[in-house]
Structure 1
Amino acid sequence: MNKIQKLLRVYGLEKLILNSGSVFLRRIFGMVLSFIWVFIITNLFGSKVYGLIAISQVIISFLGVFFCLGIDNVLVKLGSMKEHYRGNYIQSDFLRKAFVIVVISSFLCGFLMISFKDVLAVQIFKKEDLASYFNCIGLLSILFLSHKAFIGFLAVEGKFNKYGNFYFLYPNMLILILVCITYHYKLPPYFIIIGYILSYGIFGLTYSVSLLRIPIKLKNTISYKKILKLSTPMMISSSFLLISSWTDVLMLGAMVSESDVGVYNAAFKLGSLVLIVVAAVNTVLSPKISKLFEGKNIEGIKKEVQKATKLISFLSLPIVVFMIIFRKPILGLFGEEFISGQLVLVIVSLGMLFNAMSGSVGQILNMTIYQKQFRNFTFICAFTNIILNYFLILKYGIEGAALASLISNLIINIMCLVLVKQKFNFYAFFRL
């Protein structure tokens, strides 16, 4: 233990581990629970139902990013500025106005989803059963949007335990219970997606409403226009990132069987395990970058980012190696048919490892003044990913989708690394 502590002290990682550790552990437990409920779905309902749920999850993720309008990121940025939030005291009305924006956006989201559910299900995905899933998504849009928009502000408040509970632990516990209830009472499979949304939405809506207790008269004010001006580039970049990340599942949903989508999504979920580490560290790092940049402390940003990259890389490498070596028995846990996703798991794991070792480059650009450049990079990445997915899925099926994801991952991380070097004069990439 002393040798490990000494090594961590040499790399300056002790404090970062302490700050992000609570989020990391809760994400680990949440991930374990998520694999349990996925395991139950695949074994009790089959790969076809899981394929429909996987497509629905992607739709929820995309709607959450697009109709959240970047509010989740802008709250972290504004919350790190003294004119809006200082010493745990709200200084402006930015939270109240953000809530109004999210409520209006959620009604628009729900209306569009309910109106076009049949078009999406039948004409786009060619899976009529999806209409029921999409209808539920539209009706409950306020729940997942409020969770997406406001839970991240807990990190700004320094409430990392609560953040980890509301984002990772409690929702997955509740989903597991609701999946079992759906099976026990022989409810239609789309009740699983209702449970999925409720599990996150209950905590998101509760917390966002609690923020409305802020006093009406505040020292400073910020206009809706300024909030949207800051948030829109972040929303666009997040949307393109999500499109790039989930283009494979969406296009597979339109081009291959539900079973193949289920196999791919299970393998992709396993290969993305390193994102547990990345997300946990970035939760702590994002507000730090914003505060350091406000104080024009570029050297401080460099030190924090490089420490974070080392920590992410040290923790990610063993996970990837384990996934690659034991890919067959791990995939076999989901059922015999899922073993066909072995190559997908290898390709996705390698892409995620490169992502981890590239450092928190996206966070650096978003939390400073380069969110528009990051938006442009994500557009290029998303467009490239769509083109690659189309041709590679036609030729190689689910392995082609994984390969397209890997190439797109390399492109955006390299572009971000180059820009960070140009603007801040340091490399975010992992180096001993």
Structure 2
Amino acid sequence: MLGFLGGYLFIYFVVKYFGAETQGRLSLSFSVMILSSLVCRLGIDTHFVKVFALEDNINNARGIYFKLLPYLFLATLLVSAGIFFTADLISEAIFHDPELTPFLKWTAPCVMLFSFVLLHAAIFRGLRMNSLYAFLFNGGRFLFSLIFFFALLWAVDINEPIAAAMAHTAAVLALVLISLVYLRKTVFPVVKESIYRTRHFVKQSLPMLLSASLIVFLGWADSIILGIFKDSAEVGIYSVLIKVAAVVSFAMQATDSILAPKIAAAYATDQIALFKKMIRFTVVVNTVVALGLFLGILLFKNFILGLFGEEFIPFAWALIILAAGQLVNAILGPVSAMFQMTGYQIYWQNILFIAFVVNVILNLSLVQSYGIYGVATATAVSVVLSKLIGAYYIRKKVWQP
């Protein structure tokens, strides 16, 4: 709840103070950060959840973390530096917006910082420290961004759009420091011995990287393609629609953070009855909450968008299209977690690849003629497609093997 509230308030005040165009540039810089961070992590964070969740495996899990640490540090450092020094090229050649450059430069360090936030969050998730995981993964970033945003505006008197990007970088740095404090309590002292070999561990992580990459590409392809073909103001409006629509799947995101390590442990120990019981309960919770939130958005769509500004209201039905996609996403349940935690991640990877191809084709086909409505439709269709196919294969491979 803190994550959602902080995220909405941060977007709200960025739009109110500096307009949709600034929010669009911020959103595009976040897309570069998230995609780059994803590549740097190589799927290792998802693998950490599994190895830290296993009983009596803490020393082996610690050992592989410390073995991988130098490589992860070097990779994230190089990518962060690369984005910083090529910010002008990315801004002008890809997004055709020279004013995006300072946003990219301020966001570049976040590739390294955000990568370690998510790696450490995955460890805490595996250790079932769910509140800390949720705060690092979702709650803290925009909550701290909001605090630093107003600190820069009022205390430091930086009344420029770039203050939003500066605040976000400061927030991610704060999360890294918090994660290190808790990491010292749970993972230290340094252990170098482990049954996991570095190369083999990374090789096993790669299918998870591909699945995670496709999920992120599905989530950001619309904004990136919109940014290439339209101006930053439209990207800003669309980012607000996406954020509001995501409320519908709020319960799924909240329960998924708790569910993944639990179903991994239950499936690994052949407790199939417990495994199914947890999934059924999660689906019921997701469905009830998602239906209520979807109806709320449907009834009050104009009022909600009017809070951000009159220019958002004409896109109310694009919001409903996105929210409908999230409703189906929530009702069909934690498909991704089930694939990832039961060893069937390769199936999920293939399903996501199909959905990603459909997403890109639809986005490219619809964006120039229909703009925001086109990319909203493409996103909703690809989300629903991936979950329907995923649910079918989960039932076939896991539920009724």
TM-score range, shorter chain: over 0.9
1:29 aligns with 2:2: yes
TM-score under structure 2 length normalisation: 0.93
Match of 1:401 among 375, 380, 401: 375
Match of 2:199 among 225, 228, 235: 225
Amino acid aligned to 2:136: F
For residues 181 and 209 of structure 1, do their structure 2 counterparts lie closer, same or farther at Cα, with a shift above 3 Å needed?
closer
1:131 aligns with 2:113: no
For residues 45 and 216 of structure 1, do their structure 2 counterparts lie closer, same or farther at Cα, with a shift above 3 Å needed?
closer
1:105 aligns with 2:75: yes
1:193 aligns with 2:165: yes
Amino acid aligned to 1:194: M
Q: How does 1:30-429 map to 2 (within 5 A)?
A: 30-82=3-55, 84-85=57-58, 92-184=62-154, 185-208=157-180, 211=183, 214-217=188-191, 220-426=194-400
Identity of aligned residues (%): 23
Tell me the CA shift for residue 194 of structure 1.
Answer: 2.6
Residues paired across the two proteins, number = 397
Amino acid aligned to 1:366: Q
The answer to whether the Cα contact below 8 Å between 1:66 and 1:236 also exists between their aligned partners in 2 is: no
Amino acid aligned to 1:95: Y
Tell me the CA shift for residue 357 of structure 1.
Answer: 0.6
Tell me the CA shift for residue 51 of structure 1.
Answer: 1.0
**Secondary structure, counterpart of 1:215 in structure 2:** coil
Alpha-carbon separation, structure 2, partners of 1:208 and 1:371: 30
Encode CA deviations 1:221-244: one digit per residue, 9 max, x unaligned.
Answer: 321112212221111111111111
For residues 242 and 198 of structure 1, do their structure 2 counterparts lie closer, same or farther at Cα, with a shift above 3 Å needed?
same
TM-score under structure 1 length normalisation: 0.86
Alpha-carbon separation, structure 2, partners of 1:286 and 1:256: 38
For residues 115 and 209 of structure 1, do their structure 2 counterparts lie closer, same or farther at Cα, with a shift above 3 Å needed?
farther
Tell me the CA shift for residue 396 of structure 1.
Answer: 1.2
The answer to whether the Cα contact below 8 Å between 2:149 and 2:167 also exists between their aligned partners in 1 is: yes
For residues 237 and 417 of structure 1, do their structure 2 counterparts lie closer, same or farther at Cα, with a shift above 3 Å needed?
same
Alpha-carbon separation, structure 2, partners of 1:377 and 1:348: 20
For residues 218 and 113 of structure 1, do their structure 2 counterparts lie closer, same or farther at Cα, with a shift above 3 Å needed?
closer
The answer to whether the Cα contact below 8 Å between 1:52 and 1:258 also exists between their aligned partners in 2 is: yes
Encode CA deviations 1:293-340: one digit per residue, 9 max, x unaligned.
Answer: 211233332221111111111111101110111000100000111112
Tell me the CA shift for residue 153 of structure 1.
Answer: 2.1
Alpha-carbon separation, structure 2, partners of 1:385 and 1:91: 37
For residues 410 and 80 of structure 1, do their structure 2 counterparts lie closer, same or farther at Cα, with a shift above 3 Å needed?
same
The answer to whether the Cα contact below 8 Å between 1:96 and 1:211 also exists between their aligned partners in 2 is: no
**Secondary structure, counterpart of 1:152 in structure 2:** helix
For residues 367 and 352 of structure 1, do their structure 2 counterparts lie closer, same or farther at Cα, with a shift above 3 Å needed?
same
Alpha-carbon separation, structure 1, partners of 2:308 and 2:249: 21
The answer to whether the Cα contact below 8 Å between 1:351 and 1:409 also exists between their aligned partners in 2 is: yes
For residues 262 and 293 of structure 1, do their structure 2 counterparts lie closer, same or farther at Cα, with a shift above 3 Å needed?
same
What RMSD in Å do the two structures reach over aligned CA positions?
2.1
Unaligned runs of 5+ in 1: 1-27, 428-432
Amino acid aligned to 2:55: K
Alpha-carbon separation, structure 2, partners of 1:306 and 1:287: 16
Of stretches 58-67 and 242-251 in structure 1, the one that deviates more from structure 2 is: 58-67
The answer to whether the Cα contact below 8 Å between 1:150 and 1:207 also exists between their aligned partners in 2 is: yes
For residues 245 and 141 of structure 1, do their structure 2 counterparts lie closer, same or farther at Cα, with a shift above 3 Å needed?
closer
Alpha-carbon separation, structure 1, partners of 2:336 and 2:319: 24
Alpha-carbon separation, structure 2, partners of 1:171 and 1:242: 18
Unaligned runs of 5+ in 2: none
Alpha-carbon separation, structure 1, partners of 2:35 and 2:17: 27
